[in-house]
Amino acid sequence: MKKTSIIPIFIPHIGCPHRCVFCNQWQITGHRGVPSPDDIRHAVDTYTASSREPRHWELAFYGGSFTAIPVDMQERLLQPAYEALQAGKIQSLRCSTRPDCIDGPVMARLHHYGMTIVELGVQSMDDSVLEKAQRGHTAAQVETATRLLRQDGFTVGHQLMPGLPGEDWDSLVRTTAAVCRLHPDIARIYPVAVLENTELAEQYRTGRYEPLTIPEGVRRAAYMKQQFIDHGIHVIRTGLQATADLDDTTQVLAGAYTPAMGEMVDSLRYRVKLFAVLDTLHQADIIISYNRRDTSRVRGYKNQTMHEADKRYSFCLHWQEDNTVAPGSIRAGDVELVIGK
């Protein structure tokens, strides 16, 4: 199978009816302005020329509300992408947009230009959290958009943001359950970070918003991710992609941003499942085996799981790579644990 590689086309805040409290796409994407059709053609040619081996190239419009962009501008952006698709330079197209900007004519346009994947900015399924985030849509609109896209044959993605104002664990659990019921094909989880030049930054400075700590962001994202995996939803990203702007401490004021978020979340997921089994075992020695691909997930971020296990258990643990163990699983003594990637 060919490896999928993304050609990102950033459209920061284009189409957004207003700014949501947490959002600063100029900072998240590191881009400003609207790309021209020639910029898109150039990006396709540059990316596809950069690899010698054949790949599945996917062009993705990120960072704005694609289907809320004025139709003539949407078509100007879609036309060069469609041409690249027709010419066989790229193999698929995706965009991200708001749940309240999906209807029949919108989906017909996307189909016409060959778009097959639509990611919805869901953020939460709790209406009071959505209101505080000034999203301007409801959880019911997420349900409708997901159903319409699915009926029309699109691959559907949900983007979630644990840690928004007003969210507690109860709200997070309800959001997670609601997303599992809707069952998008893919999900991204972005624990909230407080970015400069946002309404959330003002709320934080004036004490009206208490940001997530990194460990709490990891806990919430790990819970969500494990639930999604257990329900067959493919999680394709956890935590914001590092950019020069995000690594600038004057730009990220607080909250759960770390370039290691994905690794820390997976470490915690594996640790929770592993310790749940080890707590029930009473042997002198236990061998913990795992596929080489899972070594850092099993041993933990900076070997944290090994260190915690040493303190927690009086018996001896032996940690070993064993490629007869399926990726995404752990063997603890005789017990086979399926955790999922």
Q: Can residue 19 be called a binding residue for ligand SF4 (CB under 6 A)?
A: yes
Least separation in angstroms between CB 50 and ligand SF4? 28
Site string for ligand SF4, 80-109 (x = CB under 6 A): ------------------x-----------
Distance in angstroms (rounded) separating the CA atoms of residues 111 and 107: 6
Whole-number Å distance between alpha carbons of 71 and 77:
10
Minimum CB separation from ligand SF4 for residue 120, in Å? Answer: 10
23 binds ligand SF4 (CB under 6 A): yes
Taking contact as CB under 6 A, which single stretch among the options 16-24, 32-40, 108-116, 268-276 is the one that binds ligand SF4? 16-24
- Residue 325 backbone phi and psi in degrees, to 5: -85, 130
| Residue 321 burial (C-beta neighbours within 10 Å; 0-12, 13-18, 19+) | middle
Residue 21 structure tokens = 């409290």
Q: Is 336 helix (H, G, I), strand (E, B) or coil?
A: strand
Coil, helix or strand at residue 305: helix
Of the pair 20, 106, the CB lying nearest ligand SF4 is at: 20
Q: CA 85, CA 106: separation in Å to the nearest integer? A: 20
> Which listed residue (9, 25, 261, 332) binds ligand SF4 by CB under 6 A?
25
- Measured distance CA(276)–CA(270) in Å, rounded: 10
**Of residues 61 and 204, the one with the C-beta less far from ligand SF4:** 61
Nearer to ligand SF4, 29 or 176 (CB): 29
121 makes contact with ligand SF4 (CB under 6 A): yes
- Interface segment toward ligand SF4; rule CB under 6 A; list 11-19, 39-47, 141-149, 217-225: 11-19
In contact, 115 and 156? CB cutoff 8 Å: no
Return the number of the residue (133 or 274) whose C-beta is nearest ligand SF4: 133
Segment contacting ligand SF4 by CB under 6 A, of 12-20, 148-156, 189-197, 228-236 = 12-20
Count of residues in contact with ligand SF4, rule CB under 6 A: 10
Smallest Cα–Cα separation from 8: which of 331, 308, 28? 28
* Residue found by looking up tokens 């995706």 in the block: 94
Is the Cβ–Cβ distance between 58 and 6 less than 8 Å? yes
C-beta atoms surrounding 282 within 10 Å: 9
Report the residue from 7, 9, 10, 20 that binds ligand SF4 according to the rule CB under 6 A: 20
Residues 48-67 interacting with ligand SF4 (rule: CB under 6 A): 64-65
239 binds ligand SF4 (CB under 6 A): no
Nearer to ligand SF4 by Cβ, of 8 and 327: the residue is 8
CA distance 329 to 333: 13
> In angstroms, rounded to a whole number, what is the distance separating the alpha carbons of residues 133 and 136?
8
Q: Closer to ligand SF4 at the Cβ: 121 or 165? A: 121
List interacting residues with ligand SF4 (CB under 6 A). Answer: 13, 16, 19-20, 23, 25, 64-65, 98, 121
